[in-house]
Amino acid sequence: MTTFSGDPGWREVGHAELARRLAPQLDPPGWVVAGNYFATTEPRVWPRATHLVVLDLPYPLMLWRTLRRTLHRGLSGQPCCNGNVESIWRLFHRDGVLRYLTRTWRKRHARYATLPYEPALAHTRVLHLRSTAAVRALLADPANALKARAESPATAR
C-alpha cells in the first residue's frame, strides 16, 4: 500500500486518495494487500477479504529490521517507493521511520491482538503471526499452516 499512499517527495496522499488508487487493484480476483492503513482498509478491504495475515513481530526485531533496511537504502541510494530515496539524516527525523515505529508499535500491537475477534472480520480467516518461525511455517507450507491455524481457535478463526 505504500506505493499508493505517497507521492514523490515523501508526500502522503490521504485516505480518500489512497482509497481511490487502491480500488482498481481490488477488482480482479486473487488480490493481496500489504499494509496497515486501517482507516482505508477497514471500510474498503475488510468486507472483501477472505484471509488476513497479521505480522505482529516483536519490537526489537522490527527495530533491527527497520534500522538495517533504512541504513542500506540510505547508503546505497536504492529507491524505496514512488522514486523516494531514504537518507541517513531522515533515520532519526521526527517523521522518520524509526521514530514512527517507536511511537506506534505498542498501539498497533494491542490492536492486532483484537483483530481475530473483530466483528467486521467474522467472515475472514485471521492469522495472527507473532514470530519469524510462524511466518516461515506459513511461507513453507501455506495450506498446512492455514489448516493448523484453523484448528486452533486461540490463534485464528
Domain regions of the chain by residue span: 1-49, 51-157
147 vs 152 pLDDT, higher one: 147
| Segment 102-129 mean pLDDT | 93
Question: Which class for 45: exposed (0-12), middle (13-18), buried (19 or more C-beta within 10 A)?
Answer: buried
Q: Residue 43: is its pLDDT beyond 80?
A: yes
Q: What is the pTM of this model?
A: 0.78
- Cα torsion 67, 34, 114, 29 to 10°: value is -170
